[in-house]
Amino acid sequence: MRKALFGLGLSLFLPLLLVVWYLAAVRWAPMDALTIALPQAVRNTISQALVARANFDAKGFPAARRAVKLNPASEDAWTMSCATGVSDGKDMDGALQACSHAASMTDMVFHAQVIAEAYEEAHLPCDGLPVLQKTMGEEKVNNISPIFSVGRLEVTCGQMEAAEKHLRAVVRLREEDLRSDNWEDRPPGSDGPPDTYEKAFRLYLSQARQNLSSLLTLRHKDEEAFRVCRSALGTELKRCSCRFKPRGGVACDYSDTE
């Protein structure tokens, strides 16, 4: 009877003990000295929990740093260490080294975007361009956003020929997307709020053309820049020009009179 009661108590106590240990291992940094001596699979589990806990902000940097220590092969951990380390700002050299290491590991668009945003926050936006280019993917309708991000950053970094190629691709893909639903390709000026997919897609195409027109203006291709601007904002316009704004986006000047 005593053995049965002991076995029952042990079966109830051990799961509770494991839960307590797991919570302590995640929440209490001194536990790392014990965790590091455990099998790699256990360390990986705690590392992943720490990554989830870090949450991409400065307060999460200690958790991200611990995650890297427990699993140096984790791309998630290095990416989180990059993002939170730059936000924390107390060891920028170490944070940028984490970004460089994460960039060398990743083939994921999401991780590349996180790394590029960290470089931008560190006032080194062009250092994030190679990882975005590496992970950009093919020129397909379902891959427009990464191509656009690369094209815009190439403008910032002075890679104008590559930027033109990619911003032209964005326009072509937006046109293809519109045609696939048999929607009319026309400037969205009279559409009203983009409260339907059709209106939203016309707006996306207009924005893509505004960006391309801005780049063509920078490259002194004024005649084509004017044509693209009119296709974006109104084919009857007499004056139409777009330029990139310093902090992103475009500003267009247009009128139906000279």
Q: What pLDDT was estimated at residue 118?
A: 96
Instruction: Show which of 135, 151, 168 is a domain's final residue.
Output: 135
Q: Are residues 195 and 242 in the same domain?
A: yes
Q: Are residues 164 and 208 in the same domain?
A: yes
Residue 21 has pLDDT above 70, yes or no: no
Q: Are residues 241 and 174 in the same domain?
A: yes
Q: What pLDDT was estimated at residue 26?
A: 64
What is the share, in percent, of the chain residues with pLDDT greater than 90? 68
Q: What pLDDT was estimated at residue 7?
A: 45
Q: Are residues 128 and 196 in the same domain?
A: no
- 81 close to 65: Cβ distance less than 8 angstroms: yes
Domains of the chain: total: 2
Q: What pLDDT was estimated at residue 233?
A: 95
Q: Are residues 131 and 72 in the same domain?
A: yes
Q: What's the start-to-end Cα distance of the chain, in Å?
A: 100
Q: Are residues 129 and 167 in the same domain?
A: no
For 85-122, the pLDDT digits (tens) are 999 999 999 999 999 999 999 999 999 999 999 999 99
For 178-224, the pLDDT digits (tens) are 999 889 888 888 788 888 999 999 999 999 999 999 999 999 999 99
Q: Chain-wide mean pLDDT for the chain?
A: 88
Residue 103 placed within a domain = yes
Q: Are residues 256 and 171 in the same domain?
A: yes
Q: Are residues 166 and 209 in the same domain?
A: yes
Domain that includes residue 78, residue range: 39-135
Q: What pLDDT was estimated at residue 24?
A: 59
Residue 132 has pLDDT above 80, yes or no: yes
